[in-house]
Structure formats: C-alpha cells, structure tokens
Structure 1
Amino acid sequence: MREMILYHILGFFVGFVLDLILGDPYWLPHPVRAIGKLIAKLEAGLLRKKDGTAKTQEEERKAGRILVITVLTLTGGISFLILCIAYMLHPVLGIVTESIMSYQVLAAKCLKQESMKVYARLKEKDLPGARKAVSMIVGRDTDILDETGVAKAAIETVAENLSDGVIAPMLYLAAFGPVLGLLYKAVNTMDSMVGYKNEKYLHFGRAAAKLDDGFNYVPARISAVLMIAAAFLAGKDFNERRALMIYKRDRYNHASPNSAQTEAVLAGALGIRIAGDASYFGKTIEKPYIGDEVRAVEYEDIVRANKLLYISAALCQGICLLLMLVAYYI
C-alpha cells in the first residue's frame, strides 16, 4: 500500500512537470480529443430519433443521461484497465503510464499558450487575428468584439479554466489518481460540448451540465482561495485585499454556481471589470458584471492573468504533494 502511494506521488509530480514543459502539442494523441470525438458520435445518434424527427423534452433528457453514462463508463473502464495492466507488468511502467495520464489531464501550459496567442495578436494591433485566436478558447461570438472585448474574453477564459483545466483536475488526480482525473475531464468536455442552455441542448445537455456543476463545486472555491494567496505573492500589479473583497461580493454573478468564483478573484486582483452581456450563436445573453472598473482592461492583463494561473498551480501542487507525503509517512 505504501509503495503504491509513493508511485502515485511520483506519477502526480512528473505529470505536472510534463504539462509545464510540453503543454498539448497537436501532433500528440490526447485522450480528451478522443473523448470529444466519442461525445460527438454519440450525440449524433442520441439527439434525434432514427427517422430524423425531434425527440420530446423527456426523451432528450433520457438521451442525455445515456450519453453521460456511456462516456463515463468507457472513459473510466479503459483508463482503469490501461493503468492496471501497466502496474501489473512492472512498477516502472506503471509510474510512467500514470505520469503520462496525469500530464494529459492538466492544461496549464496549453491555457497559457492559447491565451498568449490572443495577446500577441492584440499587441500587433491585429484585431481580426485576435478575434480568430480567442474564438479557439471561448464559446461566445467573437466577430463583433473590439480589442477590449477580445482581451476580456481571454482573461475570463484564463480565470474560469484555472479551476476547470488546472486546479480541479489536479485535486482529483492527487486524491484519486488519473482514472478519476480523466473522468473529471470527460464530464468537463461533455459540459463544454452539450451543456449549453439553448434550444438544441437545454434538455439533452442537462445531465452533463448538472454533473459538471457538482464536480466543480468544491474545486472552484479552493481555486479562488489559492488565487487570493497567489495575488499576495504575485507582486505590485495585484491587490489581494481587493481580490478578497470582490470575491465575497461577486462570486455568484454568473449563471453557473462555479465560474464567477475565480473570475471575481481575478477581476478584484487586477482592478478591472469583466463579464457583462455576451453574444452566443447570434443571440445576446444578459450577464451581470464582475469587478469594479478601477482602470480599463488592457491586453497586458492577459499576461498578468497567466502569472496568477502559474502561481496558483504551483501552490496547489505543493499543497497536494505535502498532503500526499504526510499520507505516505503516517
């Protein structure tokens, strides 16, 4: 048992380091992309009847539950089998496999790279290029955004995905290993693909959206606390007291119970106002603002958001490793 804890610690730490070094190169096969293809294939068969006609609301909800059960069963079963076989063959192979699986669950460098592409285009005054770059990481309509709108979209994405893409999967990895880490990513991917509250997905995506809310409830709040601590450590560009104040005031200024938790901290730490109305699929959705406009949003805030991302990730990694080592020596 103690040996397995040690193997898990090694795999967890190496996975984190690999993510910081490699990110998500497009040439490398990735389980999340495979999960996305599975979801798309299942959606095509489940969303409508065999004769092509639309399903009733209750039928769509049932189909959505079938989607969730199928995706989670296949993801959990395959990942568990791979990990078990690797450890059965040899502990070193098991550690290597766990390290790779853990690495592929995390997305710190990928999030930074994609958001910094937006920063680079804005810095070059290339608004069309910036719109295209930000469209790769947000779900809203980007062709109507000005430079400030593009920067805000990138900043909000870093804040929200700091929890979804880094802290939450890291917590699940630390506590339960890469199998649950991949199950979390499957839930998160389903929510991002079918969890919209629009005419097409309102009922079909309900199960995925509710499950995602549940999986992220505790991690989102832990992420916010880590971000406030990171703001204290990050230097003069950040104000941890204001981050705490805006967090307390605006952490529920979002339809999701989780998304505004980290967005509020970032807005407060930087002294900017984010969120507000946004357009999705040609329809404007009214949203409350988050933060106070102490100053205007600027594209340099994307760099600052990523600084907070990396410090928060390092804090989480350190705390998780400490707790895991305590468990090993007890």
Structure 2
Amino acid sequence: MNFLIKIWISFILDLIFGDPEKIRHPVQIIGKMITFLEKKLYGKKGSFAGGVVLGILVVASTFFVMYGFVELTKIVKVLEILEIYLMYTVFSVKSLAREGKRVYKILKLGNLKVAREKLSYLVSRDTEKMDKVMIIRSTMETISENMVDGVIAPMFYMFLGGLPLAMAYKAINTLDSMVGYKNKKYAKFGMFSAKLDDMANFVPARISGIFITMASYTLRYNYKNAWKIFKRDRKNHASPNSAHPESAVAGALGVQFGGKVSYFGKEVKKPTIGDKLKEFRLDDIKKNILLMYMTSFVSICCFSTIYLVYLML
C-alpha cells in the first residue's frame, strides 16, 4: 500500500476515533519500559548519566523495533493493517478536542468544581482556586501548546521517517512527560529527556505558526493578527517551543495568554502572549478546537504536497 495513503488513513482514523481506549496503546508499552528502566538506572540520587542511558535505550529500542516491524510488513503484507493502526495511535487530534470539549460542556453547566478537576488532568498548574476565565485560558493554552506534540510534530516525523521515526518521537514525548520535570527527584535524571524533547519539537514548533496562520485564514479568523503575534511573542515562554503555537492562536482569537498562574502552591507570573483585544469567552474553547482541527488538515496537506514534490524530483 502506498505510504501516503497509509498516513491519510491513519489520520482519518484518529479524527473519527481518537486514542483507542479498549485496545493497548503503544505509548502505554513505552511508559512501562520507562518505569522498568528507571528503577534499574535511577540509583540513590538519580544521576544525569543514568538519565542519558534511559533516554537512549528507550528511544533507540522504540525506533529499531518499529523499523524491524515495518521491514517485516514488506514481506507479510497483511501486517500493513497493524502498521496503519500503529500510525493512527501517533496522532492526538480527536483526543485533544475531546478533552477541551469536556471542560467546555462542564463550564456551560456552570459546575466550576468539576471543571477544575477535569482540567487538573490536563495541566500541571494548580486548578483548585481557578475562576471561570482562568479555566478557559488554561484549557486554551493547553490545546494550543499541544498542537505541536499532538498534531504537527508526529506528522512531521511520520513524513520524514515513517512509523519508526514517528514512534521514536512519541517515546521522547513520553520520556519528557514521565521524567522531564525540574523538581528535586528529576532535576538531573530527567534533564536529558527534557532537552531531547525540546530538540525534537524545535522545528515543528517553528512551522506551527505558519500552519496556524493558514488555518486561521481558512476559517476567517484574524489571520493577519495571528502572524503578527506569532512573530512578536513566539519567544515569550520559559519553554523554547511552547509560545510558538500559543502566540499564533492568541493572535487569531484576539486573546492574551500568560500572566499569573500557580504551580505546586507557588504563584508565578508568566510573560504575556498576545494582545487582550477581548476577555476570554466560553465559545473561545470551541473556536480553539476548530482551529486545531483545521491546523491538522492544513499540516497534512502541506506535508503531503512536499512529499509528492520530493518523489517527482
């Protein structure tokens, strides 16, 4: 089966079903491998060297297992069905939308307590004292930031190196989410995983502004402001990558991200992203989700075009 057709099928499957809930997800297996190796390599203090070994083992083993599997599909054609399934699990478009809609529906019912609880599963910040506006802002920031590691980056690596490279990216992403913290336990041990994730997202984050601006134009959002704010505020974040998609979304929707937020009981004032052209509204979450969907479509169309041009050269 043609590689491009496989990617489109896997993308459409994600739009329809989202992350599989009743079938084992590859990320779960990667997570168990990380947990097992962490116990073996952490030691007493969690050294940087141990973290490097963990990162290399997890990413390399994921890549080579997937590479071997893809080579096997060339001999046993029926395995292409499983390959498409694995490709489909790399994307997170529907799942991101699902989580955003869940918070939206709860807020629409006026239940701030439950909305705070649901949001706490999506963000690392404290949600217990958030008001409605803060919940909306945090939900939108999460959706916007995750456009890179849930949509654009997996697609980028899929087109660049097929399933092996895309799944290796997911391994990097999982490492960062499990050990890439700046707390006492993982300050040294998780540093390599955190930096590896920054490196893996470097290019996808920087092209995200282009795709989000194109999607904004298609949806008749404020695409000019999306590009303007992206160019101006894309570095307004402690993370080297997070502000790139957030700035384009903030510009497109006329809102301002950043500002005061609490992490583990400590209030932090983050740099602002975007101009406050209006206050946050509940419907902004739905607009953000629609923009995310359109960005994913724009991304796969652009990558497909580049891939076809490459084949013709």
Which deviations, in whole Å up to 9, do the C-alpha atoms of 1:48-74 show, x marking residues without a partner? Answer: 33xxxxx2xxx6111110110121122
Identify the residue that residue 3 of structure 2 maps to in structure 1. Answer: 8
In the alignment, structure 1 residue 18 sits paired with structure 2 residue 13: yes
Aligned length: 313
In the alignment, structure 1 residue 229 sits paired with structure 2 residue 224: no
Which deviations, in whole Å up to 9, do the C-alpha atoms of 1:40-94 show, x marking residues without a partner? Answer: 3333343333xxxxx2xxx61111101101211221122222222222212xx25
Residue pair 1:272, 1:295 contacting (<8 A) in 2 also: yes
For 1:205, the aligned partner's letter is G
Which deviations, in whole Å up to 9, do the C-alpha atoms of 1:217-236 show, x marking residues without a partner? Answer: 1111111110011111112x
In the alignment, structure 1 residue 35 sits paired with structure 2 residue 20: no
Identify the residue that residue 202 of structure 1 maps to in structure 2. Answer: 187
Identify the residue that residue 250 of structure 2 maps to in structure 1. Answer: 267
Residue pair 1:10, 1:99 contacting (<8 A) in 2 also: no
CA distance in 2, matches of 1:60, 1:141: 29
Which deviations, in whole Å up to 9, do the C-alpha atoms of 1:175-210 show, x marking residues without a partner? Answer: 210110000011111112222222222211110111
CA distance in 1, matches of 2:39, 2:280: 40
Three-state SS of the structure 1 residue aligned to 2:75 is helix
Identify the residue that residue 75 of structure 2 maps to in structure 1. Answer: 88
Change (3 A) 1:226 1:118: same
In the alignment, structure 1 residue 63 sits paired with structure 2 residue 50: yes
Change (3 A) 1:323 1:94: farther
In the alignment, structure 1 residue 113 sits paired with structure 2 residue 98: yes
For 1:247, the aligned partner's letter is F
Identify the residue that residue 3 of structure 1 maps to in structure 2. Answer: none
Identify the residue that residue 160 of structure 2 maps to in structure 1. Answer: 175
Identify the residue that residue 141 of structure 1 maps to in structure 2. Answer: 126
Unaligned runs of 5+ in 2: none
In the alignment, structure 1 residue 315 sits paired with structure 2 residue 298: yes
Three-state SS of the structure 2 residue aligned to 1:64 is helix
Three-state SS of the structure 2 residue aligned to 1:288 is strand
Residue pair 1:159, 1:262 contacting (<8 A) in 2 also: yes
CA distance in 2, matches of 1:42, 1:178: 23
Change (3 A) 1:38 1:280: farther
Which deviations, in whole Å up to 9, do the C-alpha atoms of 1:99-140 show, x marking residues without a partner? Answer: 212111011001100111011111111111111211222121
For 2:8, the aligned partner's letter is F
CA distance in 2, matches of 1:298, 1:123: 11
For 2:56, the aligned partner's letter is I
Superposed displacement of residue 170, structure 1: 0.3
In the alignment, structure 1 residue 258 sits paired with structure 2 residue 245: no
Which deviations, in whole Å up to 9, do the C-alpha atoms of 1:296-323 show, x marking residues without a partner? Answer: 1122111111111111111111122222
Change (3 A) 1:165 1:288: same
Which deviations, in whole Å up to 9, do the C-alpha atoms of 1:16-52 show, x marking residues without a partner? Answer: 1111111013112111122122223333343333xxx
For 1:26, the aligned partner's letter is E
Residue pair 1:272, 1:297 contacting (<8 A) in 2 also: yes
Residue pair 1:32, 1:185 contacting (<8 A) in 2 also: yes
Three-state SS of the structure 1 residue aligned to 2:262 is strand
Three-state SS of the structure 2 residue aligned to 1:287 is strand
Which one is further off, 24-33 or 308-317? 24-33
TM-score computed with the length of structure 2 as normaliser:
0.95
For 2:294, the aligned partner's letter is I
Residue pair 1:273, 1:293 contacting (<8 A) in 2 also: yes
For 2:28, the aligned partner's letter is R
Superposed displacement of residue 9, structure 1: 1.2
In the alignment, structure 1 residue 219 sits paired with structure 2 residue 204: yes
In the alignment, structure 1 residue 326 sits paired with structure 2 residue 290: no
Unaligned runs of 5+ in 1: 1-5, 50-54
Residue pair 1:10, 1:95 contacting (<8 A) in 2 also: no
TM-score computed with the length of structure 1 as normaliser:
0.90
Correspondence for 2:264 among 281, 290, 303: 281
Correspondence for 2:225 among 224, 236, 242: 242
Identify the residue that residue 75 of structure 1 maps to in structure 2. Answer: 62
Which one is further off, 258-267 or 29-38? 29-38
Instruction: Give every structure 1 segment of 4 or more consecutive aligned residues whose post-TM-superposition deviation is greater than 4 Å.
Output: none
Change (3 A) 1:326 1:79: same
Residue pair 1:8, 1:98 contacting (<8 A) in 2 also: no
